[in-house]
Structure 1
């Protein structure tokens, strides 16, 4: 965060405030970890704060300290709207465009609070008065750690906060294997462990608590994988019928897209997941090397994210979307084969 915005934030937080903390829709480990860590910090420093999530989040994140205090905008609509409308400060974490909060966007647009953005995705919009945007960071959780340090309060990071921040860093870096993982990321993680973060236990809670139905769904996804060697690409499809057959629960497909990148020679991995309730096809893109799935998703699939990890969507059927997707690959062949 630049010095001007940091000083402005310090001034804002110099007296007790009513604060709402917002993650993106379908929040992941980084979104939940960063919002809860910030919530603990603000409450511990005398503020009245609440995390308001646009919708529910995966069961494997609900062990996190403070998770039972998160308001669900879909299920606790009146209370959530009151919290947003009464807020003097609204922190938005792990997203940089109000379109990422779904039906909550109207409430945020009507809010009179001062907005503070903390995010590491590319091409931020300008809705926030105070911005901390850094695409070089591994995760929003790492940014929350840095922000607390910049506020002069690093010693106030509790074990609960350390566990939340560690979770977000671990999940958003693919257990520290993604390109955005830096030596400084590891220094942050080391300090979090010194402050009580339980790395082994966190990894177990996130990755080793699968249901049989989730593993059966993974088997279905892998069976559906198509490999396009000519374009160094692999993609997976999951229909609504297949999701229903294996009793899909929120978060069950987390990480499925990454399996494509475990294949030798594959540079681009994609998963297409049908969501009939929302009437869209959700798409996740992953890449290795210099191929920017952020640019690809923004150009063709109304999405975006990071250079090597992005999301998008399609209003067409799986078949129509796959036909369109594969028709795009010839123009990217040289980039994908480089």
Structure 2
């Protein structure tokens, strides 16, 4: 494992660098990636962000977004960049299967691999690890990596700050989750002082829905919400046909599960959606309920205690029934 002084020495002169993040990147994935990108280019590094797939349009305003390469749309270019890279930064994921086809390319690359992440149970593929499960967002870790590890707070400019603030804002659910500590608020204040316009970022991320997205949300809440009072649980399940009916695009399902969790007595919420390749689950919970345990044990996934995801090859209706059948095992935790 590389130590910090060796990594600092590597970064002391311009390098060919690839930054990548997980499949279907969210606000923290793209915010941390573009935040790091905007920092590295100030030092003269030849940096490129490669996303394994597309991502929500409400993240496309971030500085540097026009330089992002989407692997599925530019496979050959991506493969060349990965093969030629001297360093590869892996942000907001800690297992190579989270970047799909890119995973084996990164594994085989001779580049120094740097993981910056806050998820449980990291896979051992990295040469340097900046990892803390107590961080509320990977963007928080990128901030402390730049400021504390690399002693470069003076390079947190408006572009870096705007991206990192976006990552922290989204992964903390607008500063509402338990890991939003006093230190997180101090970092947010630093980013605002560096140029992040907090109210504008809030508008760009949360108040830029398309009409189709809003109508789809209405359909989910009016017609697809199921509350299981016995287990203080709420479920929203959606078919691919319903997604197509509302012309849903990447990002349109973002945050829907939180509406189910907002019901006063609900301690566990699930959004279960039929995709073309599998059925995907997004779980959210309150308090000490281990949403990640359910995803890891039953749905080939994982995540954080209060926010986790998984998948299944079973048909949608069977996945819903499987999820319901699990609830009695957690009844004591759900009815506390």
Partner of residue 87, structure 2 = 89
How well do the aligned residues superpose, as a CA RMSD in angstroms? 1.1
For residues 269-288 of structure 1, the aligned pairs below 5 Å read 269-276=269-276, 278=277, 280-288=278-286
Could you state the TM-score of these two structures normalised by the residue count of structure 2?
0.98
Give the distance between the partners of 2:235 and 2:308, measured in 1 at CA. 14
Give the distance between the partners of 1:215 and 1:135, measured in 2 at CA. 33
Whether 1:228 and 2:236 are equivalent positions in the alignment is no
Whether 1:121 and 2:119 are equivalent positions in the alignment is yes
Could you state the TM-score of these two structures normalised by the residue count of structure 1?
0.97
Q: Give the drift of 1:102.
A: 1.2
Q: 1:132-153: per-residue Cα shift (whole Å, max 9, x none)?
A: 1101001000100000012110
Give the distance between the partners of 2:8 and 2:131, measured in 1 at CA. 17
Count of residue pairs the alignment pairs up = 334
Q: Give the drift of 1:106.
A: 2.2
Partner of residue 43, structure 2 = 45
Q: Give the drift of 1:6.
A: 2.2
Q: Secondary structure at the match of 2:33?
A: helix
Partner of residue 259, structure 2 = 259
Q: Give the drift of 1:5.
A: 3.0
Partner of residue 249, structure 1 = 249
Whether 1:21 and 2:19 are equivalent positions in the alignment is yes
Q: Give the drift of 1:295.
A: 1.3
For residues 1-338 of structure 1, the aligned pairs below 5 Å read 5-150=3-148, 151-222=150-221, 223-276=223-276, 278=277, 280-338=278-336
Q: Give the drift of 1:155.
A: 1.1
Give the distance between the partners of 1:106 and 1:127, measured in 2 at CA. 11
Q: Secondary structure at the match of 2:329?
A: helix
Give the distance between the partners of 2:19 and 2:29, measured in 1 at CA. 10
Give the distance between the partners of 2:21 and 2:32, measured in 1 at CA. 8
Q: Secondary structure at the match of 1:248?
A: coil
Give unmatched runs, 5+ long, in structure 2: none
Q: 1:155-193: per-residue Cα shift (whole Å, max 9, x none)?
A: 111101100000010011110001110100000000111
Give the distance between the partners of 1:231 and 1:145, measured in 2 at CA. 40
Q: 1:78-98: per-residue Cα shift (whole Å, max 9, x none)?
A: 111111000010000000000
Q: Give the drift of 1:7.
A: 2.0
